[in-house]
Amino acid sequence: MTHTSDPHARRILILDFGSQYTQLIARGIRELNVYCEILPFDADISRIKSFKPAGVVLSGGPATVTEADTPRADREVFDLGCPILGICYGMQTMAAQLGGKVETSKQREYGSAEIRSTSTSPLIDGLHDRLEADGTALLQVWMSHGDRVSTLPDGFRVLAVSENAPMAAIANLDRNFFGVQFHPEVTHTTQGRAMMERFVRDICDCTGDWTPANIIDDLLSRIREEVGSDGVVLGLSGGVDSSVVAVLLHQAIGEQLTCIFVDNGLLRQGEAEEVMETFKDDFGIRIVQVDASERFLEALSGITDPECKRKVIGGIFVDVFQEEADKIENICWLAQGTIYPDVIESAGAGTGKAKVIKSHHNVGGIPDTLELQLLEPLRELFKDEVRAVGVALGLPQSIIYRHPFPGPGLGVRILGEVRQEYADILRQADAIFLDELRRSDLYDSTSQAFAVFLPVRSVGVVGDNRSYEFVISLRAVETVDFMTADWKRLPYDLLARVSTRIINEVRSVSRVTYDISSKPPATIEWE
């Protein structure tokens, strides 16, 4: 593979003012094959200038511009000479900082709204969801604001109005500054993707070089340059991120890579065999397999709190991994499958004032006792980009598009104490559930599915006998983004079939339930 184009050359900078939706802005831009990064609004201006953005997006946020000590962009951001798009709070702070005024609106606006185009601009010209009799364009958008711009800065004009926002979109066309009171990054704004494409591709003149082929080419060259002839060790879990890292590193440095696969006894059915077959047999990657299931189960004895279980499982993994890594010569690097949502700084993180919902990932880092350098090849990528890279590297669909499963595995799917008996029961029930989803062609349309073990006994009737056994709860969700998840409306006959199979085939289960909790308010995982 030869280097074709620098995927970072033309890029967008997003300044985060604390919106829940900031990641969606970044993901939307990346989907346009344009590289972007998120920095907190108060990032040092030298850092912003060194990024050399082709355009800047000012995100929304929970604060109000009408108060004195709320977030502002560095004044020099407006002197970078590149186009700027302010979204919601980002529009308001831009207007206020450039000489306009913002006021508290008499009527807040949260939810769907309709805006009317009043002036031409390269941002929204030709876009509409419906037309009035006189040809005026109307657009369906998503609003989330209690303040509004009341006075325009010099050089700005109104592009669109809504019932509660007389300045729903504004622009200074001479400076290529644009502001929208609504959120184009959410799917409720039906023309939002088109607007983002207008800004990124047309106004900022960004080419579509952020592609899997260019990303892989760039990563391979960077890995080889950084690692040289050193050895690298990777804790291979079989999850999407570590799987892609394994194949990427193997392609970059070959035999210099050693993977350590730790079986903690809490894996899904057949997972260990699948990992070894895929990576050792098919790809020829050097893998050390360690069966540490007894060690994990002993350490978890008597522990019921889910966070405590997570810490114990993580701690034992580090210990086992380190013991194995110490046996390998010439290891200088520890590779991890850290991805971009793991490391994004939330707005105001340094002050502790952030009011944001961000990713819930846990970043491992390096244990103090491991004297290794950290190698994180996927650090720039979102999960969907990791999958695209994995497909391009030749990883099978069953690995790339498998349902996400937490590192602690069955350990947090067992409510209460983890026991071997419970793990075996749950593993079988979970496998039956996934098998039936695949047979019904519903696996790929479901974002996440798993079984949960409830350590309570319920009376059931099996044949002519009463059965006083454990309960399995089934969980399936569909989700569009990291903030929301709705329970999957699986067909009743499928649920009945899964229930019957579990009760018939898995000893010690007398009842199967289906969880219909959604996020919000409930969490995705049972813990």
Catalytic residues: 88, 183, 185
Both structure tokens of 352? 């502790």
Both structure tokens of 315? 């701690």
* Contacting residues for 98 by C-beta, under 8 A, at least 6 apart: 78, 153, 154, 156, 177
Q: Cα–Cα distances in Å, from 140 out to 31, 189, 195?
A: 22, 6, 12
Strands 231-235, 331-335: pairing kind: parallel
Q: Count Cα atoms within 13 angstroms, Cβ side, for 399.
A: 30
Q: 39 pairs with which residues across the strands?
A: 15
Helix axes 383-392, 240-253, angle to 10 degrees: 40
Helix axes 212-227, 240-253, angle to 10 degrees: 60
CB 35 within 8 A of CB 27: no
Q: 270 pairs with which residues across the strands?
A: none
CB 237 within 8 A of CB 208: no
Instruction: Work out the angle at residue 317's Cα, subtended by the Cα atoms of residues 315 and 321, and round it to the nearest 5 degrees.
Output: 120
* Contacting residues for 489 by C-beta, under 8 A, at least 6 apart: none
